[in-house]
A and B are shown apart, each in its own frame.
Chain A
Amino acid sequence: MSSIYLRRRITNWLAMGFSALATLIGLTFLAWILWETLRQGISALNFKLFTGITANGDEGGLANAMVGSLIINFLGIAIATPIGVLAGTWLAEYANRTKLGETIRFLNDILLSAPSIVMGLFVYTIIVLPSTVLTHGSTSFSGFAGGVALALIALPVIVRTTDEMLRLVPSTLREAALSLGVPQWKLTMQILIRAARSGIITGVLLALARISGETAPLLFTAFGNNYMTLNPIDKMSSLPQIIYQYANDPGDTAHAMAWAGAFVVTMFVLLLSLGSRLVFSRNKVSHD
């Protein structure tokens, strides 16, 4: 009789031990990855990184890549935000229970985890290839194309948060406005979006955090450029792309610079996602 109890108790202990161990494994890897990034990144940081350009190799810095990253990310967010907010509004306010609305919401969730490299190839096909006509035959990679590729990755994040946040707005607000005779578009733009504003901003910040570390879609769209450029229709380098290039370089200085770039990107992304969560912590956002 008591052997059954003992067996059950031991099973329970083992299971509890296993669950604690699993959590410990997860936390260990988190600490290990962050620690290495901090250690190697900080020791490689220096002033030259922010002033020199990659054309000078070991003597240069990453300034052109940082500027490129800022421009491409800005383009991506600038394209994705209006489209994403409007599309999310349509899903929440106009098509909440229609078949088309449900389908688009469902496909948007799939797009959230779609492979980003395929999005890069898509933009390569619809923007880079056609625009070779403008450059008389040479493949015309551009920062703009990179921005569009990142916009495609940010779009589903923004659509989803806008949709979720608008559906959290109490319907009494809608009823009150409609009963005063306010047209629905005014209600949407001036009342509902304002009520859900902090949640929508959280979504945009999370989307920005998501795209700042993306590399794969930029390889065949923005391509890379060893010189500083501010022109969005020129080839443009970005931090993740330079990290990839330098990490595959055999030189130690290149590796150190790759770590420094990795440190900058990680800090940016983590502060962004932590910050957006702290500031807007009363809004629950799911982003699986």
Chain B
Amino acid sequence: MSAQPGTLAPPRVVEQRTHRDARQEQLFRWLLKGCALLVLASLLGAAGATLWGGREAFAKFGWHFLVSTAWDPGNDVYGALVPVYGTIVTSLIALLIAVPVSFGIALYLSEVAPTWLRTPVSSAIELLAGIPSIIYGMWGLFVFAPFFSEHIKPWLTSNLGNKPDDGKLSWVVQHVPFVGKLFGSDYPFGASILVAGIVLAIMIIPFISSVMREVFQTVPTRLKESAYALGSSTWEVSWDIVLPYTRSAVIGGIFLGLGRALGETMAVAFIIGNSMTFSASLLDPGTSIASTIANQFSEASGLQKSSLMALAFLLFVVTFIVLLIARLMLRQLKRKEGN
């Protein structure tokens, strides 16, 4: 172990280098940590900025802001109920359609389809997630809404609505409460809460189905094989083994889709009709929080601008909570996987 002179740096130089390395290491760590904290800052900043912007509206209207249907720039009175109602109802319609369809797609891709078909079909479904939301808006406005008002809406209003063209109420409307109100409309165009809900459903299907498919594949094969060995059918294995095993993650995926639907702006702004008047009917135009902001913010000032900021704060808080639940649910399965 005799060191040749000249092959090792003298102790002083080694010490200097160690110091330099330590200093650079420290700087590097701070730089990285600073960048990571920026992620945190953008989240807090978005909540803070909208809360600060909405302070006048919150101070002036208080809790009344949440339950008032007024939106009257002339008298400077604003309430959040119409956009909040539109946001919630469109998202619920979207879930009602997207959850069963996504479950069907995930089931098809993980259990039913022949192996060679799975990759192309799942890539195609994922392509839906890649289409920008403004394209959904264009398609909804120029293609789907006219199609809907020509082929689907007349049937709905005359069979399920309380304002049919011929004035005769159908059997369903006379015997089932609320249905007539939901589908009654004399608005002549397609743009409506229902159309917005349907388009939102198409937008969130790829998200929910890809989560479902991913978690269905985490089910241990021996569980499924045991069930098949006992004589279960494919459907029974899916419903009684796969779904209970992945329940929390499936709910997480659904909430993920809900979070998307709540915050979606452009597609909804195109096709919801942007009416600030309250109507319970799904076939009447309405508005959502995000589309109200998109439509009015650049021309608003004073209290109206503040009310829009307050709406944005509400939207941010609600989506944050929904996405929080989604991620917590999804994490439970990951933990199970780790065992």
**Cα–Cα, bound, A141→B256 (Å):** 32
Closest to B202 in A: A29
Q: Are B108 and A213 in contact (CB under 8 A)?
A: no
Q: Are B49 and A247 in contact (CB under 8 A)?
A: no
B194 within 8 A of A: no
Closest to A101 in B: B36
Q: Are B42 and A265 in contact (CB under 8 A)?
A: no
Q: Are A213 and B49 in contact (CB under 8 A)?
A: no
Q: How far is the CB of A190 from chain B (nearest CB, A)?
A: 12
Q: Are A22 and B316 in contact (CB under 8 A)?
A: no
B238 within 8 A of A: yes
Closest to B290 in A: A117
A64 within 8 A of B: no
Q: A156-B39, A244-B266, A270-B131 are in contact. Are A122 and B46 (CB under 8 A)?
A: yes
Q: A155-B42, A156-B39 are in contact. Are A219 and B294 (CB under 8 A)?
A: yes
The interface residues of chain B, by DSSP majority, are classed as: helix
Q: How far is the CB of B58 from chain A (nearest CB, A)?
A: 15
**Cα–Cα, bound, A160→B104 (Å):** 29
**Contacting residues, chain B, for A37 (C-beta < 8 A):** 135, 138-139
Q: A23-B109, A266-B132 are in contact. Are A108 and B39 (CB under 8 A)?
A: yes
**Contacting residues, chain B, for A152 (C-beta < 8 A):** 42
Q: Are B38 and A110 in contact (CB under 8 A)?
A: no
A191 within 8 A of B: no
Hey, what's the 0/1 contact readout for B301-324 against A, CB within 8 Å counting as 1? 000000001001001100110011
Q: Are A262 and B234 in contact (CB under 8 A)?
A: no
Task: Give the number of residue pairs across the A-B interface with Cβ within 8 Å.
Answer: 262
**Contacting residues, chain B, for A29 (C-beta < 8 A):** 128, 202
**Contacting residues, chain A, for B205 (C-beta < 8 A):** 26
A183 within 8 A of B: yes
Binds B, one of A8-16, A53-61, A172-180: A8-16
**Cα–Cα, bound, A116→B319 (Å):** 11
Q: Are B35 and A22 in contact (CB under 8 A)?
A: no
A67 within 8 A of B: no
Closest to B252 in A: A288
**Contacting residues, chain A, for B281 (C-beta < 8 A):** none
Q: A16-B235, A122-B49 are in contact. Are A36 and B139 (CB under 8 A)?
A: yes
Q: Are B316 and A114 in contact (CB under 8 A)?
A: yes
Hey, what's the 0/1 contact readout for B258-292 against A, CB within 8 Å counting as 1? 01101111100110000000000000000000100
Q: Are A15 and B238 in contact (CB under 8 A)?
A: yes
Interface residues on B, range: 35 or more
Q: Are A159 and B39 in contact (CB under 8 A)?
A: yes
Q: A16-B235, A90-B32 are in contact. Are A266 and B135 (CB under 8 A)?
A: yes
In-complex Cβ contact of A266 among B53, B131, B316 (8 A): B131
A121 within 8 A of B: yes
**Cα–Cα, bound, A103→B298 (Å):** 35
Q: How far is the CB of A213 from chain B (nearest CB, A)?
A: 2
Hey, what's the 0/1 contact readout for A70-108 against B, CB within 8 Å counting as 1? 000000000000111011011101110000010110111
A113 within 8 A of B: yes
**Contacting residues, chain B, for A23 (C-beta < 8 A):** 104-105, 108-109, 113, 121, 125
**Cα–Cα, bound, A183→B104 (Å):** 52
**Contacting residues, chain B, for A212 (C-beta < 8 A):** 132
**Contacting residues, chain A, for B256 (C-beta < 8 A):** 113, 288
Q: Are B112 and A20 in contact (CB under 8 A)?
A: yes
Hey, what's the 0/1 contact readout for B205-229 against A, CB within 8 Å counting as 1? 1110111001000000000000000
Q: Residues of B at under 8 Å CB distance from A? A: 21, 24-25, 28-29, 31-33, 35-40, 42-43, 45-46, 49-50, 52-53, 100-105, 107-109, 111-113, 121, 124-125, 127-128, 130-139, 141-143, 202, 205-207, 209-211, 214, 233-236, 238-239, 253, 256, 259-260, 262-266, 269-270, 290, 293-294, 297-298, 309, 312, 315-316, 319-320, 323-324, 327
